[in-house]
Amino acid sequence: MGEPELPGGVAAILAERRRQVDEALERWLPRQGDHPPKIHEAMRYSVFAGGKRLRPILALLACEAVGGSPEDAMPAAAALEMVHTYSLIHDDLPAMDDDDYRRGRRTCHRVYGEAIAILAGDALLTHAFQVLTDAAGARLPPDGRLRIIAEIAEAAGSRGMVGGQAMDILAEGCEIDRPTLLYLHTHKTGALIRASVRVGGIAGGAEEEQLQVLTRYAERVGLAFQIVDDILDIEGATAEMGKTAGSDLRRKKATYPAVMGLEESRRQAAHLLEEARDALRPLGEKGASLAALADFVGSRRH
Protein backbone atom coordinates (compact mmCIF):
# COMPACT_ATOMS: atom_id res chain seq x y z
CA MET A 1 0.00 0.00 0.00
CA GLY A 2 1.65 3.29 -1.09
CA GLU A 3 2.02 6.16 1.36
CA PRO A 4 0.27 9.40 0.40
CA GLU A 5 2.32 12.44 -0.51
CA LEU A 6 2.47 14.23 2.79
CA PRO A 7 3.15 17.84 3.67
CA GLY A 8 6.69 18.34 5.05
CA GLY A 9 7.37 16.82 8.44
CA VAL A 10 4.09 14.96 8.83
CA ALA A 11 5.43 11.69 7.43
CA ALA A 12 8.19 11.67 10.04
CA ILE A 13 5.79 12.50 12.90
CA LEU A 14 3.42 9.75 11.80
CA ALA A 15 6.10 7.11 11.34
CA GLU A 16 7.69 7.74 14.74
CA ARG A 17 4.36 7.88 16.57
CA ARG A 18 3.11 4.76 14.83
CA ARG A 19 6.20 2.93 16.01
CA GLN A 20 5.59 4.04 19.62
CA VAL A 21 1.93 3.06 19.47
CA ASP A 22 2.77 -0.34 17.99
CA GLU A 23 5.26 -0.93 20.82
CA ALA A 24 2.56 -0.11 23.39
CA LEU A 25 0.05 -2.40 21.67
CA GLU A 26 2.63 -5.16 21.62
CA ARG A 27 3.17 -4.62 25.35
CA TRP A 28 -0.50 -4.51 26.39
CA LEU A 29 -2.27 -6.95 24.07
CA PRO A 30 -2.52 -10.61 25.08
CA ARG A 31 0.34 -12.66 23.59
CA GLN A 32 -0.14 -14.79 20.47
CA GLY A 33 0.20 -18.06 22.41
CA ASP A 34 -2.04 -17.11 25.37
CA HIS A 35 -4.78 -19.65 25.93
CA PRO A 36 -6.94 -20.14 23.90
CA PRO A 37 -4.50 -19.28 21.07
CA LYS A 38 -7.00 -18.84 18.20
CA ILE A 39 -8.82 -15.86 19.70
CA HIS A 40 -5.58 -14.07 20.57
CA GLU A 41 -4.19 -14.76 17.11
CA ALA A 42 -7.33 -13.25 15.55
CA MET A 43 -7.17 -10.15 17.77
CA ARG A 44 -3.52 -9.58 16.92
CA TYR A 45 -4.08 -10.36 13.23
CA SER A 46 -6.43 -7.39 12.95
CA VAL A 47 -4.59 -5.00 15.26
CA PHE A 48 -1.26 -5.54 13.48
CA ALA A 49 -2.66 -5.38 9.97
CA GLY A 50 -1.10 -1.98 9.25
CA GLY A 51 -3.59 0.70 10.36
CA LYS A 52 -2.62 4.36 10.29
CA ARG A 53 -2.99 4.65 14.10
CA LEU A 54 -4.69 8.00 13.59
CA ARG A 55 -6.70 7.93 16.83
CA PRO A 56 -3.78 7.03 19.12
CA ILE A 57 -1.55 9.57 17.38
CA LEU A 58 -4.20 12.25 17.91
CA ALA A 59 -4.26 11.38 21.61
CA LEU A 60 -0.46 11.60 21.93
CA LEU A 61 -0.24 14.90 20.06
CA ALA A 62 -3.14 16.43 22.02
CA CYS A 63 -1.43 15.42 25.26
CA GLU A 64 1.78 17.17 24.18
CA ALA A 65 -0.12 20.19 22.88
CA VAL A 66 -1.22 20.97 26.44
CA GLY A 67 2.24 20.34 27.91
CA GLY A 68 1.88 16.68 28.90
CA SER A 69 4.27 13.81 28.31
CA PRO A 70 3.13 11.37 25.59
CA GLU A 71 3.72 8.44 27.96
CA ASP A 72 0.80 9.72 30.07
CA ALA A 73 -1.54 9.27 27.11
CA MET A 74 -0.13 5.94 25.88
CA PRO A 75 -2.59 3.59 27.67
CA ALA A 76 -5.49 5.64 26.30
CA ALA A 77 -3.85 5.65 22.86
CA ALA A 78 -3.53 1.86 22.85
CA ALA A 79 -7.07 1.43 24.17
CA LEU A 80 -8.45 3.68 21.42
CA GLU A 81 -6.79 1.58 18.73
CA MET A 82 -8.26 -1.59 20.27
CA VAL A 83 -11.76 -0.07 20.27
CA HIS A 84 -11.25 1.16 16.69
CA THR A 85 -10.02 -2.25 15.51
CA TYR A 86 -13.00 -3.98 17.14
CA SER A 87 -15.32 -1.62 15.25
CA LEU A 88 -13.61 -2.43 11.94
CA ILE A 89 -13.80 -6.20 12.54
CA HIS A 90 -17.52 -5.98 13.31
CA ASP A 91 -18.16 -3.50 10.49
CA ASP A 92 -16.70 -5.99 7.99
CA LEU A 93 -18.96 -8.88 9.07
CA PRO A 94 -21.57 -10.28 6.67
CA ALA A 95 -24.36 -8.82 8.85
CA MET A 96 -22.87 -5.35 8.37
CA ASP A 97 -20.72 -4.31 5.40
CA ASP A 98 -19.71 -7.84 4.37
CA ASP A 99 -16.20 -6.92 3.24
CA ASP A 100 -13.43 -9.25 2.12
CA TYR A 101 -10.49 -6.87 2.56
CA ARG A 102 -9.40 -4.47 5.27
CA ARG A 103 -6.06 -2.78 5.77
CA GLY A 104 -4.81 -4.56 2.66
CA ARG A 105 -5.46 -8.10 3.86
CA ARG A 106 -8.35 -10.49 4.19
CA THR A 107 -10.86 -9.46 6.83
CA CYS A 108 -10.81 -11.17 10.21
CA HIS A 109 -13.94 -13.26 9.57
CA ARG A 110 -12.63 -14.41 6.17
CA VAL A 111 -9.51 -15.81 7.88
CA TYR A 112 -10.86 -17.02 11.24
CA GLY A 113 -14.59 -17.47 10.58
CA GLU A 114 -17.48 -15.34 11.73
CA ALA A 115 -17.77 -16.60 15.29
CA ILE A 116 -14.11 -16.02 16.13
CA ALA A 117 -14.17 -12.61 14.42
CA ILE A 118 -17.16 -11.52 16.53
CA LEU A 119 -15.38 -12.71 19.64
CA ALA A 120 -12.09 -11.04 18.63
CA GLY A 121 -13.97 -7.74 18.35
CA ASP A 122 -15.71 -8.27 21.69
CA ALA A 123 -12.42 -9.15 23.35
CA LEU A 124 -10.63 -6.09 21.93
CA LEU A 125 -13.36 -3.80 23.23
CA THR A 126 -13.21 -5.38 26.67
CA HIS A 127 -9.43 -5.47 26.76
CA ALA A 128 -9.26 -1.76 25.97
CA PHE A 129 -10.95 -1.03 29.29
CA GLN A 130 -8.70 -3.46 31.09
CA VAL A 131 -5.68 -1.54 29.75
CA LEU A 132 -7.22 1.72 30.88
CA THR A 133 -7.69 0.45 34.41
CA ASP A 134 -4.35 -1.41 34.70
CA ALA A 135 -1.63 0.37 32.83
CA ALA A 136 -2.99 3.89 33.07
CA GLY A 137 -2.95 3.54 36.82
CA ALA A 138 0.80 3.69 36.81
CA ARG A 139 0.93 7.31 35.67
CA LEU A 140 -2.40 9.07 36.04
CA PRO A 141 -4.38 9.85 39.22
CA PRO A 142 -7.71 7.98 39.60
CA ASP A 143 -9.91 10.95 38.65
CA GLY A 144 -8.02 11.41 35.36
CA ARG A 145 -8.31 7.70 34.63
CA LEU A 146 -12.03 7.72 35.36
CA ARG A 147 -12.61 10.68 33.07
CA ILE A 148 -10.74 8.95 30.27
CA ILE A 149 -12.73 5.73 30.75
CA ALA A 150 -16.00 7.69 30.71
CA GLU A 151 -15.01 9.59 27.55
CA ILE A 152 -14.10 6.44 25.63
CA ALA A 153 -17.16 4.49 26.85
CA GLU A 154 -19.52 7.32 25.86
CA ALA A 155 -17.85 7.73 22.45
CA ALA A 156 -17.90 4.00 21.66
CA GLY A 157 -21.45 3.29 22.88
CA SER A 158 -24.98 3.73 21.57
CA ARG A 159 -24.85 7.51 21.97
CA GLY A 160 -21.63 7.56 19.98
CA MET A 161 -20.07 5.17 17.46
CA VAL A 162 -22.58 2.31 17.86
CA GLY A 163 -25.46 4.80 17.50
CA GLY A 164 -23.90 6.14 14.30
CA GLN A 165 -23.35 2.65 12.94
CA ALA A 166 -26.97 1.69 13.76
CA MET A 167 -28.25 4.78 11.96
CA ASP A 168 -25.97 4.03 9.00
CA ILE A 169 -27.47 0.55 8.65
CA LEU A 170 -31.05 1.77 9.12
CA ALA A 171 -30.53 4.49 6.51
CA GLU A 172 -29.16 2.17 3.81
CA GLY A 173 -31.07 2.55 0.58
CA CYS A 174 -33.19 5.44 1.98
CA GLU A 175 -33.23 9.09 0.95
CA ILE A 176 -31.62 10.91 3.83
CA ASP A 177 -31.56 14.58 4.74
CA ARG A 178 -28.51 16.62 5.73
CA PRO A 179 -29.15 16.62 9.51
CA THR A 180 -29.35 12.80 9.48
CA LEU A 181 -26.18 12.59 7.42
CA LEU A 182 -24.43 14.90 9.88
CA TYR A 183 -25.62 12.80 12.84
CA LEU A 184 -24.40 9.67 11.15
CA HIS A 185 -20.92 10.97 10.36
CA THR A 186 -20.35 12.76 13.66
CA HIS A 187 -21.28 9.61 15.57
CA LYS A 188 -20.04 6.68 13.47
CA THR A 189 -16.55 8.10 12.99
CA GLY A 190 -16.50 11.51 14.66
CA ALA A 191 -17.22 10.41 18.22
CA LEU A 192 -14.10 8.27 18.64
CA ILE A 193 -11.88 10.86 16.95
CA ARG A 194 -13.28 13.55 19.25
CA ALA A 195 -12.67 11.29 22.26
CA SER A 196 -9.11 10.56 21.08
CA VAL A 197 -8.17 14.21 21.16
CA ARG A 198 -10.02 14.89 24.39
CA VAL A 199 -8.51 11.96 26.32
CA GLY A 200 -5.07 13.04 25.12
CA GLY A 201 -5.78 16.47 26.54
CA ILE A 202 -7.10 15.04 29.81
CA ALA A 203 -4.03 12.80 30.16
CA GLY A 204 -1.85 15.88 29.61
CA GLY A 205 -3.66 17.79 32.37
CA ALA A 206 -5.51 20.24 30.08
CA GLU A 207 -7.31 23.21 31.63
CA GLU A 208 -11.02 23.45 30.72
CA GLU A 209 -10.31 26.15 28.12
CA GLN A 210 -7.60 24.05 26.48
CA LEU A 211 -10.01 21.12 26.38
CA GLN A 212 -12.55 23.29 24.59
CA VAL A 213 -9.92 24.30 22.02
CA LEU A 214 -9.03 20.64 21.45
CA THR A 215 -12.69 19.68 21.16
CA ARG A 216 -13.38 22.32 18.49
CA TYR A 217 -10.38 21.02 16.54
CA ALA A 218 -11.39 17.37 16.98
CA GLU A 219 -15.00 17.82 15.89
CA ARG A 220 -13.90 19.44 12.65
CA VAL A 221 -11.15 16.93 11.93
CA GLY A 222 -13.52 14.03 12.72
CA LEU A 223 -16.15 15.20 10.27
CA ALA A 224 -13.59 16.06 7.59
CA PHE A 225 -12.02 12.61 8.02
CA GLN A 226 -15.32 10.90 7.24
CA ILE A 227 -16.11 13.19 4.29
CA VAL A 228 -12.66 12.43 2.85
CA ASP A 229 -13.38 8.74 3.42
CA ASP A 230 -16.61 9.08 1.44
CA ILE A 231 -14.73 10.83 -1.37
CA LEU A 232 -11.99 8.18 -1.40
CA ASP A 233 -14.61 5.46 -1.69
CA ILE A 234 -15.47 6.99 -5.07
CA GLU A 235 -12.07 8.19 -6.23
CA GLY A 236 -9.62 5.90 -4.46
CA ALA A 237 -8.08 2.72 -5.80
CA THR A 238 -8.78 -0.53 -3.95
CA ALA A 239 -5.06 -1.37 -3.80
CA GLU A 240 -4.15 1.98 -2.27
CA MET A 241 -6.96 1.94 0.29
CA GLY A 242 -6.50 -1.66 1.36
CA LYS A 243 -10.27 -2.20 1.23
CA THR A 244 -12.78 -2.51 -1.58
CA ALA A 245 -13.39 0.86 -3.27
CA GLY A 246 -16.87 1.81 -4.48
CA SER A 247 -18.68 -0.20 -1.81
CA ASP A 248 -20.67 2.82 -0.54
CA LEU A 249 -22.12 3.42 -3.99
CA ARG A 250 -23.00 -0.24 -4.49
CA ARG A 251 -24.82 -0.35 -1.16
CA LYS A 252 -26.51 3.02 -1.68
CA LYS A 253 -24.89 4.27 1.53
CA ALA A 254 -25.60 7.67 3.00
CA THR A 255 -22.48 9.63 2.05
CA TYR A 256 -21.58 13.29 1.54
CA PRO A 257 -20.97 12.92 -2.22
CA ALA A 258 -24.33 11.13 -2.59
CA VAL A 259 -26.20 13.89 -0.77
CA MET A 260 -24.34 17.01 -1.87
CA GLY A 261 -22.07 16.02 -4.75
CA LEU A 262 -18.29 15.57 -4.99
CA GLU A 263 -17.31 19.21 -5.44
CA GLU A 264 -19.34 20.44 -2.47
CA SER A 265 -18.01 17.55 -0.36
CA ARG A 266 -14.42 18.51 -1.22
CA ARG A 267 -15.15 22.13 -0.41
CA GLN A 268 -16.70 21.25 2.95
CA ALA A 269 -13.82 18.97 3.94
CA ALA A 270 -11.27 21.69 3.10
CA HIS A 271 -13.29 24.29 5.01
CA LEU A 272 -13.59 22.08 8.10
CA LEU A 273 -9.84 21.43 8.10
CA GLU A 274 -9.12 25.14 7.86
CA GLU A 275 -11.44 25.73 10.82
CA ALA A 276 -9.67 22.93 12.69
CA ARG A 277 -6.29 24.60 12.17
CA ASP A 278 -7.73 27.97 13.20
CA ALA A 279 -9.17 26.47 16.36
CA LEU A 280 -5.64 25.58 17.49
CA ARG A 281 -4.39 29.19 17.52
CA PRO A 282 -4.67 29.62 21.32
CA LEU A 283 -2.18 26.75 21.75
CA GLY A 284 0.49 28.61 19.74
CA GLU A 285 3.50 26.56 18.58
CA LYS A 286 2.39 23.60 20.71
CA GLY A 287 -0.52 23.06 18.32
CA ALA A 288 1.74 22.68 15.26
CA SER A 289 1.75 18.86 15.16
CA LEU A 290 -2.04 18.69 15.44
CA ALA A 291 -2.28 21.24 12.61
CA ALA A 292 0.02 19.05 10.52
CA LEU A 293 -2.23 16.10 11.23
CA ALA A 294 -5.20 18.04 9.89
CA ASP A 295 -3.18 18.50 6.68
CA PHE A 296 -2.62 14.74 6.59
CA VAL A 297 -6.35 14.06 6.90
CA GLY A 298 -6.94 16.34 3.91
CA SER A 299 -4.27 14.74 1.75
CA ARG A 300 -4.63 11.08 2.65
CA ARG A 301 -5.15 8.48 -0.10
CA HIS A 302 -6.26 5.63 2.15
Q: Does 106 engage in binding with ligand GRG (CB under 6 A)? A: no
Q: Does 162 engage in binding with ligand GRG (CB under 6 A)? A: yes
For the chain, first and last CA: distance in Å?
Answer: 9
- Mapped onto helix, strand or coil, the DSSP state of residue 141 is coil
Backbone CA torsion sign across 203, 204, 205, 206: negative
Nearer residue to ligand GRG within complex by CB, 87 or 265: 87
* Alpha carbon distances (Å) from 246 to 38, 159, 222, 236, 255: 32, 28, 21, 8, 12
CB of 275 to ligand GRG, least distance (A): 20
CB of 23 to ligand GRG, least distance (A): 17
Amino acid letter, 180: T
For the packed helices 54-65 and 190-203, what is the interaxial angle rounded to 10 degrees?
A: 40
Q: Does 52 engage in binding with ligand GRG (CB under 6 A)? A: yes
Query: Rounded distance, CA 269 to CA 276, Å?
Result: 10
Query: Rounded distance, CA 90 to CA 116, Å?
Result: 11
Q: Does 265 engage in binding with ligand GRG (CB under 6 A)? A: no
Q: Beta-strand (E) ranges in the chain?
A: 101-102, 105-106
Q: Beta-strand (E) ranges in 122-171?
A: none
Question: Residues 229-248: x/- map of binding to ligand GRG (CB under 6 A)?
Answer: x-------------------
Nearer residue to ligand GRG within complex by CB, 64 or 91: 91
Query: Rounded distance, CA 226 to CA 145, Å?
Result: 28
CB of 218 to ligand GRG, least distance (A): 14
Q: Does 54 engage in binding with ligand GRG (CB under 6 A)? A: yes
Nearer residue to ligand GRG within complex by CB, 90 or 220: 90
Among 107, 189, 255, 289, binds ligand GRG (CB under 6 A): 189
- Mapped onto helix, strand or coil, the DSSP state of residue 93 is coil
Q: Does 51 engage in binding with ligand GRG (CB under 6 A)? A: yes
Q: How many helices (H) and strands (E) does the chain have?
A: 16, 2
Q: Does 103 engage in binding with ligand GRG (CB under 6 A)? A: yes
CB of 81 to ligand GRG, least distance (A): 8
CB of 90 to ligand GRG, least distance (A): 4
Q: Does 44 engage in binding with ligand GRG (CB under 6 A)? A: no
Q: Which residue is nearest to ligand GRG (CB)?
A: 51
For ligand GRG, the binding residues (CB under 6 A) are 51-52, 54, 84, 87-88, 90-91, 103, 161-162, 165, 188-189, 226, 229
